Amino acid sequence: MKITDLTMTMIEWTGARVQYGAHNPVLGSSQIGLVTIRTDEGVVGQSYLGASYRSAEIEAWSMINVLKPVILGRDPFDRGIIWKALLNRINSTSYRAIGAIDVALWDLAGKAAGLPVHKLIGTCQPSVPAYASSATLASPEAYVEQALAVKAAGYVGYKTHPPLGISADEHILMHQKIRDAVGPDFLLMLDAAGHLDYSQAMKVGDAIAEMNFHWFEDPLPHTDIWTYVKLCQKLKIMVMATEYAPGNFHFYAPWITSHATDALRGDVAVKGGITPCLMTAHLAHAFHMNYEIHHGGNSVNNIANLQLTMALPNSEMFEVLLPNEAHQFGIVGDLKVGPDGHMHCPEGPGLGVTYDDDLIKRHTVAVLS
Ligand SMILES: [Mg+2]
């Protein structure tokens, strides 16, 4: 089988616009790119590129001009060779664009084999416990209200993205209110999105450890391995960094060997596809560390992340960023937490995604080839 074509259909995506940290702008609309890879045997692989806060227009030029020529004529099952060849061009593109091709190739391979991606890799868990993750909200009361709604909806836990610029004391007060509201045992996590300094992180980390929080995510800036080492040595709570740490697979090594994080983190969009996430998960596994998966930014990457997580022995939960309308678009039968608090994968070969063709047609602004 040979790859004969790659196109990217640019689709206008309007809807809820929210913020999770200083890293993401609040946009009126963005474009999502439907990547379609075709072969000489008629088997097709597809994925989505982009998010509501990050338009696929950023990657469009390099997808067509830099990456497409690398894959044309290759065997679509040679994902290892292809990923390495794509990575050679990283200086002229992004991990997100490479990731969209890799995810589409896994979809294609699953369809050719008649198997969902998690079975193709090797299933470790038939479904994954799901937790909900907040946007930045206006007041502590808004977080309390959301935490209670999340618990009532059946999620196994709740993670906050606190407002930007609040003090350590305000962090502590807000999270104590949430803990008091949901009870002593409901799973809670805090994601500071890299906004705290060392003294703030120490104070907040000690306090939420006392409140029985499960993990403290990205307390410090993503480049500050040096201070993360100190923080990990001192805090009792599990510290989880590396979601947006610069670099890719190879750049996890210093975080592990320096003891700068207690678990690794990544997702198929930010880290360049399912292929490097699998490598990273196995690397973490060798050190008895978990690899926890970030949300995917769009409906298809969320499902790709779920397929991946189902095939990992060392991944605990599935992240669902709220509100849903900022992360779900353009497919039929999108993910929804089950009555058991788990996320269940759609049936069907490949990613198992059914695209909403009518909606896509109505909102298509260009087809790039
Ligand atoms: Mg995070």
Measure 324 CA to ligand 1 centroid, in angstroms: 16
CATH number at residue 267: 3.20.20.120
Measure 218 CA to ligand 1 centroid, in angstroms: 7
Query: Is there a single domain that holds both residue 7 and residue 124?
Result: no
pLDDT of residue 285 exceeding 90, the answer is yes
- Averaged over 41-62, what is the pLDDT? 96
Query: Is there a single domain that holds both residue 86 and residue 163?
Result: no
Measure 295 CA to ligand 1 centroid, in angstroms: 8
Give, for 286, the enclosing helix (H) or strand (E): helix 274-286
**206-233 pLDDT tens trace:** 999 999 999 999 999 999 999 999 999 9
pLDDT of residue 16: 62
Measure 162 CA to ligand 1 centroid, in angstroms: 11
Measure 231 CA to ligand 1 centroid, in angstroms: 18
Measure 190 CA to ligand 1 centroid, in angstroms: 9
Q: SS3 for 177?
A: helix
Is residue 64, in this structure, part of any structural domain at all? yes
Dist. CA 64–CA 56, nearest whole Å: 12
Query: Is there a single domain that holds both residue 107 and residue 128?
Result: no
Query: Is there a single domain that holds both residue 319 and residue 181?
Result: yes
Query: What is the percentage of the chain residues whose pLDDT exceeds 90?
Result: 93
Measure 111 CA to ligand 1 centroid, in angstroms: 31
Measure 38 CA to ligand 1 centroid, in angstroms: 34
Measure 241 CA to ligand 1 centroid, in angstroms: 8
Is residue 30, in this structure, part of any structural domain at all? yes
Measure 256 CA to ligand 1 centroid, in angstroms: 18
pLDDT of residue 186 exceeding 70, the answer is yes
Query: Is there a single domain that holds both residue 73 and residue 175?
Result: no
Is residue 209, in this structure, part of any structural domain at all? yes
Measure 73 CA to ligand 1 centroid, in angstroms: 38
Query: Is there a single domain that holds both residue 81 and residue 166?
Result: no
Backbone angles phi, psi at 186, to 5 degrees: -65, 140
Domain of residue 27: give its range: 3-114+357-368
Query: Is there a single domain that holds both residue 236 and residue 267?
Result: yes
Query: Is there a single domain that holds both residue 151 and residue 203?
Result: yes
At 20, the pLDDT band (50, 70, 90 cuts) reads confident
Instruction: Report DSSP state, residue 28.
Output: S
Q: CB count, 10 Å around CB of 142?
A: 15
Measure 76 CA to ligand 1 centroid, in angstroms: 32
Is residue 348, in this structure, part of any structural domain at all? no
Measure 51 CA to ligand 1 centroid, in angstroms: 15
CB 122 within 8 A of CB 53: no
Measure 317 CA to ligand 1 centroid, in angstroms: 13
Is residue 351, in this structure, part of any structural domain at all? no
**230-256 pLDDT tens trace:** 999 999 999 999 999 988 898 999 999
Is residue 231, in this structure, part of any structural domain at all? yes
Measure 104 CA to ligand 1 centroid, in angstroms: 24
What is the residue whose two structure tokens read 């999108």? 334
How many CA atoms within 13 Å lie on the side-chain side of 251?
Answer: 14
Query: Is there a single domain that holds both residue 298 and residue 199?
Result: yes
Query: Is there a single domain that holds both residue 165 and residue 282?
Result: yes
Measure 270 CA to ligand 1 centroid, in angstroms: 12
295 against 53, higher pLDDT: 295
29 against 367, higher pLDDT: 367
Measure 243 CA to ligand 1 centroid, in angstroms: 6
What pTM was computed for the model? 0.96
Query: Is there a single domain that holds both residue 243 and residue 301?
Result: yes
Measure 139 CA to ligand 1 centroid, in angstroms: 20
CATH number at residue 97: 3.30.390.10
Measure 44 CA to ligand 1 centroid, in angstroms: 32
Of 14-28, 36-50, 139-153, 177-191, least confident by mean pLDDT is 14-28
Is residue 349, in this structure, part of any structural domain at all? no
- Tally of domains within the chain: 2
Is residue 198, in this structure, part of any structural domain at all? yes
Query: Is there a single domain that holds both residue 90 and residue 179?
Result: no
Residues in the chain: 369
69: which 2 tokens? 């020529």
Dist. CA 101–CA 63, nearest whole Å: 9
Measure 171 CA to ligand 1 centroid, in angstroms: 16
- Integer angstrom CA distances of residue 160 from 190, 231, 269, 334, 350: 5, 20, 21, 23, 32
- Averaged over 275-302, what is the pLDDT? 97
| CA 127 remoteness from chain centre | 17
Measure 133 CA to ligand 1 centroid, in angstroms: 9
